[in-house]
Amino acid sequence: MALKPIPALVVAGLRSGVGKTTVTLGLIRALTDRGLKVAAYKIGPDFLDPSHYQNAGAVYARNLDPILQSSRGMNDLFHGSGPVDARIIEGVMGLFDGPIPGKATGSTADIAGRFGLPVLLVCDTRSCAQSISAEIVGARTLLRDVPIAAVALNFVGSPRHAELLARGVRSMAGIRVAGCLFRDALPAMPSRHLGLVPAAEFHAQDGVYARCGKAISGAFDLNRLLRDAARAAPVEKISARPSHARAIDSVRRSLTVAIAMDEAFSFYYPETLDYFRARCAQMIEFSPLKDRVAPDADLYYFGGGFPEVYAARLSGNQRFREDLRRRIADGAHVYAECGGLMYLSREIETTDGVSHPMAGALPGRCRMHARRQALGYWKARVLRNTEFLRKNLVLIGHEYHWSTYEPGKAARPVYESRKIGARDRQAAGWLAGTVFASYLHLSPHGNSEFFRRLVEWGSARMVKRRR
Q: pLDDT value at position 61?
A: 97
pLDDT tens by residue, 357-404: 999 999 999 999 999 999 999 999 999 999 999 999 999 999 999 999
pLDDT tens by residue, 130-179: 899 999 999 999 988 889 999 999 999 999 999 999 999 999 999 999 99
Cβ neighbours of residue 89 under 8 Å, at least 6 residues apart? 8, 9, 10, 11, 40, 41, 42, 43, 64, 111, 112, 117
Q: Which residue has the higher pLDDT, 235 or 314?
A: 314
Q: How much of the chain, in percent, has pLDDT values that exceed 70?
A: 92
Question: 467: pLDDT confidence band, cut at 50, 70 and 90?
Answer: low
Residue range 283-311: mean pLDDT, rounded = 97
Q: pLDDT value at position 3?
A: 61
Supply the CATH classification number for the domain 250-465: 3.40.50.880
Supply the CATH classification number for the domain 8-229: 3.40.50.300
Q: pLDDT value at position 246?
A: 54
Residues 274 and 243 sit within 8 Å (Cβ to Cβ) = no
Residue range 221-240: mean pLDDT, rounded = 76
Amino acid at 213: G
User: Mean pLDDT for the chain?
Assistant: 91
- Report how far residue 123's alpha carbon sits from residue 168's, in angstroms, rounded to the nearest whole number: 13
Cβ neighbours of residue 85 under 8 Å, at least 6 residues apart? 6, 7, 31, 36, 37, 38
Q: Do domains 8-229 and 250-465 have the same CATH topology?
A: yes
The pLDDT of residue 301 is above 70: yes
- Report how far residue 9's alpha carbon sits from residue 140's, in angstroms, rounded to the nearest whole number: 16
Q: Is 114 exposed, middle or buried (0-12, 13-18, 19+ CB in 10 A)?
A: middle
Q: Is 202 exposed, middle or buried (0-12, 13-18, 19+ CB in 10 A)?
A: middle
338 is catalytic: yes
CA dist 187 → 26, 51, 424 (Å): 10, 18, 41
Residues 405 and 439 sit within 8 Å (Cβ to Cβ) = yes
Closest CA relative to residue 429, chosen from 386, 368, 369: 386
Instruction: Break the chain into its structural domains and give their ranges.
Output: 8-229, 250-465
pLDDT tens by residue, 17-76: 999 999 999 999 999 999 999 999 999 999 889 999 999 999 999 999 999 999 999 999
Closest CA relative to residue 319, chosen from 296, 284, 288: 288
Cβ neighbours of residue 330 under 8 Å, at least 6 residues apart? none
Q: Which residue has the higher pLDDT, 194 or 20?
A: 20
Please pick, among 180, 212, 280, 338, the residue that the annotation labels catalytic: 338
Question: 239: pLDDT confidence band, cut at 50, 70 and 90?
Answer: very low
Q: pLDDT value at position 196?
A: 74
The pLDDT of residue 192 is above 80: no
Bridging pattern class, strands 365-368 and 355-357: unpaired
